[in-house]
Structure 1
Amino acid sequence: MKGQGLPFSTIVLAIISVLILVLIVFFVTGGFSRIFPATTQYIVSDIQTARTKCQQLLADAQLKLSASTNPNNDFKQTEYCKVQFNISNEELKCFSPKIGVYANFRVTTLFGEVYRCYTIPSLKTTEGCTCDKEETTEQPTQQGPTQSGGSPTSSGSNTQPDRSFPANLPT
């Protein structure tokens, strides 16, 4: 009754095949980025170049969040929050005090929820990037000036800079 089982080599090949299949699926679905989050790093020679790039990345983040259903998580995953600049052998984030490009804006999601997104000056963490859901209270709205069509004017954008917070950020 010795010859009535699967050969050991067949079992080993089946296990290896399953592991390879799992790795392929993990790679294709982006599973590695959740386990090992990538941080983009730029090597630049001066702060001004980093500021310019950070301003561009912040604008891209605002655009991305306007189509988001989870702004807080999505904001932390933007390149603006994750990128590091290597300036004079020092790794700096966009919202580090030396670069000083801080986010402070409101965004309306596809579901009509309003979030206030901002950064807290920080050196090396994406925890400095935050979006808080704003509670809306029913208040009578005032109509603004009308255009020739009789409708209130609007900017057509669902992201607005919020200049009221935080007042104590370094400039």
Structure 2
Amino acid sequence: MLRYWDQTLTNTSNQRSEVWFDTGDIGLMDCHGNLWLLGRTNGRIKSGGENIYPEEVEAILLEHPGIARVVIVGIPDARFTEMVAACIQPRENWQWLEHSTSNEEFHLSRKNLQQYCLENNLSRFKIPKIFIEWRKPFPLTATGKIRRDQVRKEVLSEIQSLHSNL
């Protein structure tokens, strides 16, 4: 990419000088020269000194037959800086059970989803500690992307209300 549409280069004296445009995307290049997109800088979760990209955790959870949609956000944590939280929308005929230890068919719970993540080789530090059943549509931008900041804000509000009701 050379520039944004309808913008001119500010440094025209040396056309060969390299200019980098920061997109906010985080990726890596493998040994074959393939570029892999890991996530976005503004979505990255820092937990216990580790970087966690929500898209990676979402991809694993979306493979579960009982999950229709999921959004991963980081929430403040005194011990680890941030904690991974999963907002899930179960598929039709699946039921969210907050404290179930059962692995019954068509039941989702924190415990069985954490086990699912382990079985699918997600590193322990990336596994969500909190799961919230999301009962309304996820907030979207005008271009149809998830408003992760808005989801995070609503999760924090819900957690605050739970603590104030204790």
Q: Same fold (TM over 0.5)?
A: no
More helix by share: 1
Structure of larger gyration radius = 1
- Report 1 or 2 for greater relative contact order, CA contacts < 8 Å, sequence distance ≥ 6: 1
TM category, shorter: under 0.3
> What TM-score, normalized by structure 1, do the two folds share?
0.25
